[in-house]
Every structure is written in structure tokens, then in C-alpha cells.
Amino acid sequence: MAQPQPPSFKTVFVFLDTDKYCSPFDMLVAIDAFPDSMIFKYENVTDADAPKIVFDLLFPRGPEGAKHTKIFINGSNFEMVEKVVEATQKAMKSAPWGNSIIVDPRGGYSTAAAAVAKTFGVAMKKGFGSLEGKKVTVLAGTGPVGQTAARIYAAEKANVIITSRALAKGQAVADKINAEVGAKRVTVVEVTKPEQTAEATKDAEIILSAGAGGIQLLSQAQISASCKIVADINAIKPLGVEGLAPNDDSKELKPGVYGIGALAIGKLKIKTETEMIKRATAEPQGLFDYSIAYTIAKDQILKKLAKAAAK
Ligand SMILES: NC(=O)c1ccc[n+]([C@@H]2O[C@H](COP(=O)([O-])OP(=O)(O)OC[C@H]3O[C@@H](n4cnc5c(N)ncnc54)[C@H](OP(=O)(O)O)[C@@H]3O)[C@@H](O)[C@H]2O)c1
């Protein structure tokens, strides 16, 4: 007589998005990583909604099935995303079992992780050393990508300046990061006119342009004498840094200044996000956020450096 088979569970990604529409970007990355998976999506999600959805997705499949249900929290409202993450984790703590949570607000975590890791890779390759103690300026460092990059640089013990058109907005970001890392690593320079960029970049060894798409934040002439690495994450024309093309990857833009463009960062970003999803899918539980993203992106860079050194 045939033995009863244990149920086999399909991988399901449940997207909780704080925006009015769920971005197809991350759903496509998830489907490409797991072509047999399914996606359920919820939009305009707030921290008040999250527990109800979490309980409804945890119970029907039991503890074994829950291991195959993954939550992906997304959205461009960074503060609301953090609240939804908190509410989701709190709900899971009060349930008999939980599942893994991937957080990558509008790609901000994986993009910032890739951007910082790429600058680390060029610094190591060109003999400038690690990020510790480096002077870094993140232009427009208040968006999801810029503030996450500043957070990762600060955790790497770099000294970071972020710029913002609004001092109070920038200061709130800096205060939050400094409280998290337990040191005053991030300061703010208000930049409302292009001339003020010079003040923010005059000592910078690394400049990361993290502004909204289609806005140039740095001209060639504004690349400071101290600068060794300049990176841009904006792939929409006009690009963030004049003369830095999207596919430039460690290209010498001026003598001794190496540039990394948005698509060069984008390639590592996709690899990083895919690996985040794979790790979250392999583990029954856990939070997969910017720190995991940075570990993944930096590991990729370290592997490349080791391979180049072995040649
Ligand atoms: N390469 C990749 O793989 C990849 C992946 C995802 C996203 N991206 C790109 O990453 C960039 C940042 O994304 P995000 O979501 O963090 O951006 P965002 O929130 O739209 O904008 C970032 C910051 O840009 C500043 N800004 C907005 N409009 C401006 C203007 N007219 N002039 C000067 N500054 C302005 C704002 O800072 P203040 O208000 O504080 O001045 C804002 O906080 C975008 O270009 C996006 O397309 C790239």
C-alpha cells in the first residue's frame, strides 16, 4: 500500500508594499530567482495592517508550510517601511511560529549595499585601503539609497558627510545613524546651490552621488582634489555626475580619480538582491535587510579581489 506523502509546499512571496502600487521590479527579481514560486501582493500597507496579514499568512500552512512563505516588505516611504517591519516582527513574536522577512525598500538596501561595496572594491584594488577612517561624502544622502549607504559607511567606521537641500531633514537622518552606530560619524552640509557642493566635498576621498533620478549633482570641475573614487547611482539622464557613464567600472576619470557608474552598481545590486531572496528562502526564519545585503555584496567583492590576487 502506498505510504501517505508529506505535503509539498510551493514557495510563496507575500509582498507588503507601503506604496499605492507594488513595484514590479522586486516581484520580477523574486520570480527569476524562483520561477516556480507564487506572489501575493498587498498595497498601501501600514503598520496597523501588517499584523492582520501576518496572522492570515502564518496559520493556514502550519509550521512546515510557513517555512515556504516569505514576506517581502517594500515601499518608498522609508519611515512607514520601518514601522511595517517592526509591526511584522512583533506579530510574529506573538505567534507560535514565524517566517523569513526580506526588506529592500524600493531597492534601497541592495542598491546602497552594492554601491558601498563597489567603492570598497576600488579602494582595495587601487591600494587606498579599507573604508575605516575614510572621508566620504554622500550627495543627497537623505533618500532610501543615500541614507542606507551613509549608514553602511558609518558602520564601516568611515567619516561621512551627507548633503541635503534641507538642513533639518539631513540632520534627522544623521542623528538616527549616529545613534545606531553609537558615534558621531555622520554630519550634514546643506546644499541649496551648486556652489555649496564644494564645501561638502572639499576633503572627500570617496564621493557617492545618491540623488533622485535625472538630476546632476556634481560637475567634472567640482570633483575635489582630495577625491579618489566617485560613484553615481542615478541611471536616468541627466546622470548624477558629469562625465561618469553608467557602465564605467573603476574607470580613471581624471588622473588618480576612479569612477563607478549606475549600471556597474546595478549589476551587483541585482546579484545582491537575488542572493538575499535565496538566503531568506533557504532559512525558515530571520530578517534579511541592509546588513545582510552588505555582507553579500562585500563578499562578492572580496571573492573578486582574491581571484585577481591569485592570478
Ligand atoms: N543603480 C541602481 O541599481 C539603482 C537602484 C535603485 C535606485 N536607483 C537610483 O538611486 C537614486 C536614489 O534613489 P532614492 O529612492 O534614494 O531617491 P529619492 O528618494 O527619489 O531621492 C534622493 C534624494 O535626492 C534629493 N533630491 C530630490 N530632488 C532633488 C532635486 N531636484 N535637486 C537636488 N536634490 C534632489 C532629495 O534630497 P533632499 O530633499 O534632502 O535634498 C532626496 O532625498 C535614484 O536616482 C534611483 O533612480 C538606482
67-84 average pLDDT score: 95
Ligand 1 centroid to residue 229 C-alpha, Å: 20
Give per-residue pLDDT as tens, 81-128.
Answer: 999 999 999 999 999 999 999 999 999 999 999 999 999 999 999 999
Nearest CA residue ID for atom 9, ligand 1 = 234
Measured at the alpha carbon of residue 200, what is the angle toward residues 197 and 205, in degrees to the nearest 5? 115
Return the percentage of the chain with pLDDT > 70, whole number: 98
pLDDT above 90: residue 52: yes
pLDDT above 70: residue 10: yes
Which ligand 1 atom is the nearest neighbour of the CA of 211? 24
pLDDT score recorded for residue 4? 63
Burial of 129 (0-12, 13-18, 19+ CB in 10 A): exposed
Ligand 1 centroid to residue 22 C-alpha, Å: 19
Which ligand 1 atom is the nearest neighbour of the CA of 144? 16
192-215 average pLDDT score: 95
184-204 average pLDDT score: 95
Nearest CA residue ID for atom 40, ligand 1 = 164
Nearest partner of 8 among 68, 87, 52, judged by Cα: 68
pLDDT score recorded for residue 1? 60
Which ligand 1 atom is the nearest neighbour of the CA of 114? 3
Ligand 1 centroid to residue 59 C-alpha, Å: 39
pLDDT above 70: residue 5: no
238-267 average pLDDT score: 97
Which ligand 1 atom is the nearest neighbour of the CA of 170? 40
2 confidence band (pLDDT: 50, 70, 90): low
Which ligand 1 atom is the nearest neighbour of the CA of 169? 40
Nearest partner of 155 among 291, 302, 273, judged by Cα: 291
pLDDT above 90: residue 8: no
The Cα–Cα gap between 204 and 253 comes to 16
152-157 average pLDDT score: 98
Domains for the chain: give ranges and CATH numbers.
12-103 (3.40.50.10280), 108-266 (3.40.50.720)
Cell of 24: 514590479
pLDDT score recorded for residue 194? 84
Pocket around ligand 1 at a 6 A CB cut-off? 106-108, 111, 140, 142-146, 164-166, 169-170, 210-213, 215, 233-236, 262, 265-266, 269
Name the one residue in this structure whose C-alpha cell is 506604496: 19
pLDDT above 90: residue 7: no
Nearest CA residue ID for atom 32, ligand 1 = 215
Of 192, 233, 247, best ligand 1 pocket probe by most atoms within 8 Å of the beta carbon: 233
pTM for the structure as a whole: 0.95
Which ligand 1 atom is the nearest neighbour of the CA of 234? 45
- Under 8 Å CB-to-CB from 266, ≥6 apart: which residues? 111, 114, 235, 246
